[in-house]
Amino acid sequence: MPKLRKQELPVLAVDLGGTKVITALISNDGGMLASETCPTLADEGPESVIKRIFAAIDHLLSLRNMSPSQLYGISIASAGAIDVGKGIVTLSPNLPGWHDVPLKSIVQEKYKIDTFLINDAKAAALGEYHFGAGRGAKNLVFITVSTGIGGGIIIDGKLYSGASGGAGEVGHMTIETEGPRCSCGNIGCWETLASGTAVAKEAIRRIRGGEKSSLIEMVKGKIENITAKEVSLAAQNGDILASEVINKAMNYLGVGMVNLVNIFNPEIIVIGGGLSKMGDLLFEPVRRMVAERAFKLMAAAVRIVPAQLGDDAGVFGASVFAFGQS
Amino acid sequence: MPKLRKQELPVLAVDLGGTKVITALISNDGGMLASETCPTLADEGPESVIKRIFAAIDHLLSLRNMSPSQLYGISIASAGAIDVGKGIVTLSPNLPGWHDVPLKSIVQEKYKIDTFLINDAKAAALGEYHFGAGRGAKNLVFITVSTGIGGGIIIDGKLYSGASGGAGEVGHMTIETEGPRCSCGNIGCWETLASGTAVAKEAIRRIRGGEKSSLIEMVKGKIENITAKEVSLAAQNGDILASEVINKAMNYLGVGMVNLVNIFNPEIIVIGGGLSKMGDLLFEPVRRMVAERAFKLMAAAVRIVPAQLGDDAGVFGASVFAFGQS
């Protein structure tokens, strides 16, 4: 086999999420050569999760009979607040115990190759921009609506990172000044009102308050097991409480979306994450509110569309991020 | 006199505001060769205001004994929502009667030279970036807090305009979902809660509700004459009602500022406009709230500083905009 130039080697991309870890081998032109998924088991804490990441990387390499030296690099998209300059996961609400974990250097020392670390929503923004719903756009805002609300901003075809790599934390804009306290320390953040967690909390609160809903039977009386998935399913089946809870959250989602339209005047807003799978239940109210409330010129200019890459957006984006650093 | 190359000719810049029109001759290197100010008398409507702009331009040219052909072009920074592509003032809350006024072509036809039109807050952002408080930064968010709240965003040294030239309407992000209706059609916009108009309205509302304040004497009982200027003066003199009104508005100002820090992770936020003249009364609570509530890395990265160019930011920025279009 002829020796490949570095740019021809694949990236081993890792998407470290609160529930699962995806590993993938991705070539410079976006070809996915292999991919595996394993559970994060985040509750076991960082040491255990990092061992599991090592095992996943080793397994993927062994499947392809490759050594680390045959990689362009390893690129990790991680949930949480990332200090890109230092390669540190500073804090991650969905990864218990992760405080200032120098993940980049830990992986780099283990495999002795270039390693990259980026926030998972920013990676997904890059993935959707290069290979998904955002292809061909100049400016794009990507939103992921799941446990929380994450975001990534593409301006002039490049990820906008800001002064210290943190830009795009749109889930932590206050849309309700007297709203709920957020785990980030701020108040009335968008994600406290419009995320999957917000949907589940509100349904549980109302049912515990004595209201009736088919959700109770759906979770066999274990109210605490209700997630946004059950609420959206119940709403689609005509459950009134579930519909009201979803409508309220989608109203809040629309409020934040209007903010993003008025601030960024984007060509396209791509919405991914678990809640985007609700389809019209999410997109209809959000598009309507943008049409009603945003500046007319900007409302007319924006397309609000579902993400296309699903769970793979993070690994695709992580590979783009790595190749872009060369 | 030798014939000058086009880039060596000055721009005649016009800042069209709700209360005054500033005209200035500005060279490519930011030298201000001449400047005049006249009242807008906006209540007389667009036709009358446009005649006054023509008179101001003619007067400035005659002062320098110049003809329009000796200009690089005319560049207008206007209050309101601008359709940059079409050169139209689509709507301007502070310019009564201005609906879809094709100001660019009106001026261009009159003077037969290149004419440019840009929103006044975006122009001020460019002005502060090139010649004022933002020099040397890479990314900057400019906010003007006066009658309303306007904004301009500089990314990688360039004005970020978005898909249709409207980006940066930060004054129209909702920070209070059930807040007051805004003239833009949205609800709970930042400017309905933290602008000079919001300050005056709240003081008037409370005094009309029977509360005591030195403001009443200050305006000789004409409550309707209270503006943010009087409220800030009264607050500085220890008036309790005025202090409470200012504190409430500055709290809201801080809430929106935290949003901008979490979204843009800017190096610098430059605050101009009438209310920025309050100094510590504005900057102290805003900086404190950003330190308390924004993501730590991003709060640490941002400087929040007063604008330096005062009323001239708009004309300086309009000239930068014109020269940048060549």
Q: Sketch the domain layout of chain A as residue ranges.
A: 6-126+312-324, 133-307
pLDDT, residue B159, reads 96
- Kindly tell me if the per-residue pLDDT of A1 is higher than 60: no
- Return phi, psi of residue A308, to 5°: -110, -20
pLDDT, residue B6, reads 79
Q: Which residues pair with B176 in a beta bridge?
A: A176
Kindly state whether B262 is in contact with chain A, defined as any CB-CB distance less than 8 angstroms: yes
The whole-angstrom distance between B61's CA and the closest CA on chain A is 35
| Nearest residue, CB atoms, B81 vs list A83, A293, A295 | A295
Mean pLDDT on A1-20: 85
Kindly state whether A176 is in contact with chain B, defined as any CB-CB distance less than 8 angstroms: yes
* Average pLDDT for chain B: 95
Kindly state whether A83 is in contact with chain B, defined as any CB-CB distance less than 8 angstroms: yes
Contacts of range B110-114, beta carbons closer than 8 Å, 24 or more positions apart = B110/B54, B111/B57, B111/B68, B111/B71, B111/B74, B112/B68, B112/B69, B113/B68, B113/B69, B113/B71, B113/B73, B113/B74, B114/B72, B114/B73, B114/B74, B114/B322
Per-residue model confidence as pLDDT tens digits over A251-293: 999 999 999 999 999 999 999 999 999 999 999 999 999 999 9
Kindly state whether A230 is in contact with chain B, defined as any CB-CB distance less than 8 angstroms: no
- Closest-CA residue of chain B to A151: B263
Residues of B in contact with A256 (CB under 8 A): 174
At residue B25, the 3 state secondary structure works out as strand
Mean pLDDT on B103-126: 97
Kindly state whether B162 is in contact with chain A, defined as any CB-CB distance less than 8 angstroms: yes
Per-residue model confidence as pLDDT tens digits over B48-89: 999 999 999 999 999 999 999 999 999 999 998 898 889 999
What fold, for A133-307? Answer: Nucleotidyltransferase; domain 5 (3.30.420)
Would you tell me how many other CB atoms lie within 10 Å of the CB of residue A39? 9
pLDDT, residue B3, reads 67
What fold, for A6-126+312-324? Answer: Nucleotidyltransferase; domain 5 (3.30.420)
Q: Which of A90, A104, A276 is nearest to B299 (CA)?
A: A90
Residues of B in contact with A173 (CB under 8 A): 173, 258-259, 262-263
The answer to whether residues A295 and B163 touch, using CB atoms and an 8 Å cutoff, is no
The answer to whether residues A8 and A296 touch, using CB atoms and an 8 Å cutoff, is no
The answer to whether residues A269 and A257 touch, using CB atoms and an 8 Å cutoff, is yes
Q: Give the Cα separation of A153 and A158 in Å (integer).
A: 8
- Kindly tell me if the per-residue pLDDT of B326 is higher than 60: no
Mean pLDDT on B240-265: 98
The answer to whether residues B309 and B132 touch, using CB atoms and an 8 Å cutoff, is yes
pLDDT confidence bin for B23, thresholds 50/70/90: very high
Strand-strand pairing, B11-16 and B73-78:
parallel
- Return phi, psi of residue B279, to 5°: 65, -130
DSSP per position, A259-311:
HHHHHH--SEEEEESGGGGGTHHHHHHHHHHHHHHS-HHHHHH-EEEE-SSGG
- Closest-CA residue of chain B to A138: B163
pTM equals 0.94
Do the chains contact at A186 and B258, CB–CB below 8 Å?
yes
Please report the ipTM that was assigned to this predicted complex. 0.93
Radius of gyration of chain B, Cα coordinates, nearest whole angstrom: 20
Q: Fold identical between A6-126+312-324 and A133-307?
A: yes
pLDDT, residue B2, reads 59
Per-residue model confidence as pLDDT tens digits over B80-90: 889 888 999 99
Strands (E), chain B: 11-16, 20-26, 32-39, 73-78, 81-83, 88-91, 99-101, 115-119, 140-145, 149-155, 158-159, 268-272, 303-306
Residues of B in contact with A179 (CB under 8 A): 177
Residues 236-255 of B with CB under 8 A from A: 251-252, 255
DSSP classification of residue B47: H
Order of strands, edge to edge, in the sheet holding A20-26?
Answer: A32-39, A20-26, A11-16, A73-78, A115-119
Do the chains contact at A295 and B161, CB–CB below 8 Å?
no
Per-residue model confidence as pLDDT tens digits over B183-194: 889 999 999 999
- Kindly tell me if the per-residue pLDDT of A6 is higher than 90: no
pLDDT, residue B5, reads 79
Kindly state whether A139 is in contact with chain B, defined as any CB-CB distance less than 8 angstroms: yes
pLDDT, residue B91, reads 86
Per-residue model confidence as pLDDT tens digits over A140-169: 999 999 989 999 999 999 999 999 889 999
The fourth-level CATH superfamily of domain B134-307 is ATPase, nucleotide binding domain (3.30.420.40)
The whole-angstrom distance between A60's CA and the closest CA on chain B is 34
Mutation test of the interface with chain A: which of B189, B253, B263, B296, choosing the one with the most A Cβ atoms within 10 A?
B263
The answer to whether residues A75 and A319 touch, using CB atoms and an 8 Å cutoff, is yes
Mutation test of the interface with chain B: which of A139, A160, A173, choosing the one with the most B Cβ atoms within 10 A?
A173
- For chain B, the 3-state helix, strand and coil shares in percent, each to the nearest 5, are 45, 20, 30
| Nearest residue, CB atoms, A258 vs list B186, B266, B294 | B186
- Kindly tell me if the per-residue pLDDT of A39 is higher than 80: yes
| Nearest residue, CB atoms, A297 vs list B83, B173, B267 | B83
Do the chains contact at B81 and A255, CB–CB below 8 Å?
no
Residues of B in contact with A297 (CB under 8 A): 81, 83, 90, 164-166
Residues with Cβ within 8 Å of B44's Cβ and at least 6 positions away in sequence, in order, are none
Residues of B in contact with A177 (CB under 8 A): 175-176, 179, 193, 251-252, 255
pLDDT, residue B19, reads 87
